[in-house]
């Protein structure tokens, strides 16, 4: 039986930054109504909200959370609300907020919203800085996980309880978080905070996006559809700038800055996002039946001892096809990036993160 042709989606690319007039309501002076003055400069916290996340639940929950935030933070900072309107909007508003001197940008939503906010911290491969706050001013990254998967939050054992997330933000404890960077054939840098992956898992992630209405089941449905017509591929890898070597019959190759992807699969189970390196897990010569039988090992993070699974720690890795066809999917944080070849590397301690 012949398999259907796999669609080739458009590559996600950040748009150019918007002007203040285009951003409209994203002024850093947007919420003084309930604030009580305190000594010294008030901090500006920008909350980037994806109202359509989790099939619209994120927008509803945010409306309930906003009064609590104002109560908890009113004596500390100005709360600046930004409701995103479509793909890449979170990237744009994050860049503008950092340029304007925001003290924190908090992603409110799932891994996709967090992914865009992280990319907003950079421009052409370099961190963005405030225009008039001096070289020592840094904007912190925060997260209120309200999405379908919230895989990044799982690395820290966080639930989707927004009250706990607000507690972390109010507490104000920050750690230096690593960020992953990837470069495709055109050399343009793109950033990921969680997991980037190649071939079957990336293709499954692309299809999973079509089944979001089924919640976390969308990841299993995406994987099953990804296996339709799937063939394992011989790939070349170059680790830390060394020599190229061939890896046969690759089913999936995953590059983790954090531990989970695909709605709770603990794919890179021993990585530490504060360690300064990435964990690469390579799955070789899996058939669809092997995937189903060993799915519980992927969710439990015990798959590293399974035959055909290997793991290495890297600061950088380049991946290419042995026989170039240009159809091996690449994704990062569940977002389609493009196709091989791709280079992955880590930016150690790149962002202050509310932990």
pLDDT tens-digit map of 177-204: 999 999 998 889 999 999 999 999 898 8
Residue 13: predicted pLDDT:
37
- Do residues 105 and 141 lie in contact, with contact meaning Cβ atoms separated by under 8 Å? yes
Question: 30 pLDDT band (50/70/90 cuts)?
Answer: very low
Residue 76: predicted pLDDT:
84
Residue 216: predicted pLDDT:
67
Catalytic one of 100, 103, 111, 333: 111
Query: Would the CATH topology of 43-172 be identical to that of 189-348?
Result: no
CA angle 340-210-107, nearest 5°?
80
Distance CA 79, CA 303 (A): 43
Residue 26: predicted pLDDT:
46
Residue 267: predicted pLDDT:
96
Range with lowest mean pLDDT among 18-32, 115-129, 147-161, 243-257 = 18-32
- Which two tokens mark 135? 């070289």
**Average pLDDT taken over every residue of the chain:** 86
pLDDT at position 100 over 60: yes
Question: 40 pLDDT band (50/70/90 cuts)?
Answer: low
Distances (CA, A) of 220 to 227, 267, 298: 11, 14, 12
Residue 99: predicted pLDDT:
97
pLDDT at position 10 over 60: no
Query: Can you give the residue ranges of every domain in the chain?
Result: 43-172, 189-348
Residue 174: predicted pLDDT:
97
Question: 17 pLDDT band (50/70/90 cuts)?
Answer: very low
User: pLDDT tens digits, residue range 109-164?
Assistant: 999 999 999 999 999 999 999 998 888 899 999 999 987 678 999 999 998 889 99
CA angle 171-176-178, nearest 5°?
130
Distance CA 314, CA 312 (A): 6
Could you tell me which residues are beta bridge partners of residue 81? 47
Residue 178 appears among annotated catalytic residues: no
What percent of the chain shows pLDDT beyond 70?
Answer: 88
Superfamily of domain 43-172: Probable inorganic polyphosphate/atp-NAD kinase; domain 1 (3.40.50.10330)
pLDDT at position 279 over 50: yes
* Bond prior to 341 in cis (omega within 30° of 0): yes
Distance CA 160, CA 210 (A): 23
The whole-number average pLDDT for the span 203-229 is: 77
Residue 260: predicted pLDDT:
96
Distance CA 70, CA 344 (A): 40
Residue 342: CB atoms within 10 Å = 22
CATH code of the domain occupying 189-348: 2.60.200.40
Give this prediction's pTM: 0.86
């Amino acid at each position: 039986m012949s398999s259907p042709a796999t669609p080739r989606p458009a590559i996600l690319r950040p748009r150019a930054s918007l002007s203040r007039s285009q951003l409209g309501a994203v002024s850093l002076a947007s919420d003084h109504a309930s604030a009580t003055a305190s000594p010294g400069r008030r901090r500006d916290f920008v909350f980037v909200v994806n109202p359509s996340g989790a099939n619209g639940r994120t927008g509803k929950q945010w409306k309930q959370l906003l009064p609590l935030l104002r109560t908890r933070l009113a004596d500390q900072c100005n709360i600046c609300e930004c409701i995103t309107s479509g793909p890449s909007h979170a990237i744009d508003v994050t860049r503008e907020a950092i340029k304007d001197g925001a003290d924190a940008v908090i992603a409110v939503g799932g891994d996709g919203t967090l992914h865009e906010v992280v990319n907003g911290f950079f421009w052409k491969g370099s961190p963005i800085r405030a225009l008039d706050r001096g070289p020592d001013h840094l904007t912190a990254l925060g997260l209120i996980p309200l999405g379908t998967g919230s895989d990044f939050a799982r690395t820290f054992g966080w639930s989707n309880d927004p009250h706990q997330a607000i507690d972390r933000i109010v507490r104000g404890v920050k750690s230096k978080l690593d960020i992953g960077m990837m470069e495709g054939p055109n050399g343009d840098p793109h950033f990921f905070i969680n997991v980037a992956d190649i071939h079957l898992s990336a293709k499954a992630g692309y299809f999973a996006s079509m089944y979001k209405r089924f919640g976390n089941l969308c990841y299993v449905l995406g994987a099953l559809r990804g296996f339709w017509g799937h063939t394992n591929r011989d790939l070349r890898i170059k680790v830390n700038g060394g020599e190229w070597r061939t890896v046969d019959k690759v089913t999936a190759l995953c590059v983790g800055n954090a531990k989970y992807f695909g709605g709770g699969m603990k794919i890179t189970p021993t990585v530490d996002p504060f360690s300064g390196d990435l964990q690469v897990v390579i799955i070789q010569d899996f058939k669809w039946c092997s995937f189903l039988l060993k799915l519980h090992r992927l969710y439990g993070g015990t798959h590293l001892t399974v035959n055909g699974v290997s793991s290495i720690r890297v600061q950088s890795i380049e991946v290419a096809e042995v026989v170039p066809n240009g159809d091996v999917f690449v994704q990062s944080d569940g977002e389609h990036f493009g196709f091989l070849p791709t280079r992955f590397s880590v930016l150690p301690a790149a962002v202050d993160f509310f932990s």
